[in-house]
Chains A and B, each alone.
Chain A
Amino acid sequence: MIYEIRFHGRGGQGTVTAAELLVKAAVAEGKWGQSFPFFGAERRGAPVVAFARISEEKHFLHSQITEPNIIVVLDKKIMEAVDVTDGLKEDGVLVINSSGLFSKESLRNFRICVVDATKIAVSLGLSVAGWVIVNTAMLGAIVKAVPLVKVESIMNAIRNNWPERVGEINAEAARRAYEEATVL
């Protein structure tokens, strides 16, 4: 089976990096993975999407992802402007960065996993130029919702991507999110 994942974030939030790190973790486990940004101009602050495909076996696909199995929302505010469930498979999963309870009304019967990635990131001091960086925490929540890869592989992929302390803090964000994420 090929898992197809779509990430919703804002330009400059590390959405594309999140998709790529997920693939790096999968590839380190001997799986096949592919990630790509939305093909177009990237604009800081604007709603952006990125994609990933994770599978046990190699495939030849290079077309776009239109019916993902998993949707990841880095910034809940985007849901006011964009229908994040567009194309999500019937048995699909939504992983949402949100504090506290969550109204499920607009999200039909999709399985939902909630994590307060912003709180985790703030408590670890993860911010750049006034932006709270939640992408690494969200990776921990994704693998809690769907065991695509081990959380340790996510943490290693993060450590390999940034040197020393930055890598450690981001890996810790992923670990905490993995523990705190709740599947509703």
Chain B
Amino acid sequence: MKKVAAISFPSKGVAGKTGIWRVRKPILDRNKCVRCLICWIYCPEGTILRKEDDSVEIDYEYCKGCGVCSNECPTKAITMEEE
């Protein structure tokens, strides 16, 4: 590959650890989660991590705290709390 123009490659966290941007934090209640993966689809930053068994985890190092997951969750399993 001859680099004669600007190219960028996908990588994790090009804007740094964006978790510091957060003012409110999403908290997952595993008892309410039905593994529908809607949060995983909607998260604009890819910070909902999908496990083998379709359970999810939140990557707090990069989650910016936008609250989209909490808003979309059909069972209200994700709530936003002050940092």
- Measured in the bound complex, the distance between the Cα atoms of B64 and A173 in whole Å is 29
Q: Which of B11-19, B29-37, B71-79 contacts A (4 or more CB under 8 A)?
A: B11-19
A74 to chain B, nearest CB (A): 13
Question: Quick one: which of B12-68 are within 8 Å of A by CB?
Answer: 15-18, 20-24, 64-65
- In the complex, the answer to whether B23 meets A81 with C-beta atoms within 8 Å is no
* Chain B, interface SS category: loop
Name the one of A44, A46, A80 contacting B15, with C-beta atoms under 8 angstroms: A46
Question: Quick one: which of A50-78 are within 8 Å of B by CB?
Answer: 77-78
- Measured in the bound complex, the distance between the Cα atoms of B52 and A40 in whole Å is 40
- In the complex, the answer to whether B23 meets A46 with C-beta atoms within 8 Å is no
Given contacts A45-B64, A45-B65, A46-B15, contact A80 B21 (CB under 8 A): no
- In the complex, the answer to whether B17 meets A81 with C-beta atoms within 8 Å is yes
A167 beta carbon closer than 8 Å to chain B: no
- Measured in the bound complex, the distance between the Cα atoms of B2 and A146 in whole Å is 53
- In the complex, the answer to whether B16 meets A81 with C-beta atoms within 8 Å is yes
- Measured in the bound complex, the distance between the Cα atoms of B24 and A78 in whole Å is 16
Binary CB contact string for chain A from 28 to 54 against chain B (1 if under 8 A, 0 otherwise)? 000000000000000111110000000
- Measured in the bound complex, the distance between the Cα atoms of B15 and A43 in whole Å is 11
A130 beta carbon closer than 8 Å to chain B: yes
**Chain A residue with Cβ nearest B22:** A45
Chain B residues within an 8 Å CB radius of A44: 21
A131 beta carbon closer than 8 Å to chain B: yes
A10 beta carbon closer than 8 Å to chain B: yes
Chain B residues within an 8 Å CB radius of A46: 15, 18, 20-21
Given contacts A45-B64, A45-B65, contact A10 B21 (CB under 8 A): yes
Name the one of B16, B20, B23 contacting A130, with C-beta atoms under 8 angstroms: B23
- In the complex, the answer to whether A131 meets B20 with C-beta atoms within 8 Å is no
B residues within 8 Å of A by Cβ?
15-18, 20-24, 64-65, 82
Q: What are 18 A-B contacts defined by CB distance under 8 Å?
A: A10-B21, A43-B21, A45-B21, A45-B22, A45-B23, A45-B64, A45-B65, A46-B15, A46-B18, A46-B20, A47-B20, A47-B21, A78-B20, A80-B20, A81-B17, A130-B23, A130-B24, A130-B82
Additional A-B contacts beyond A45-B22, A45-B23, A45-B65 (6; CB < 8 A):
A46-B15, A46-B18, A46-B20, A78-B20, A81-B16, A81-B17
Shortest beta-carbon contacts, A-B, top 6: A45-B21, A81-B20, A46-B21, A45-B23, A45-B64, A130-B23
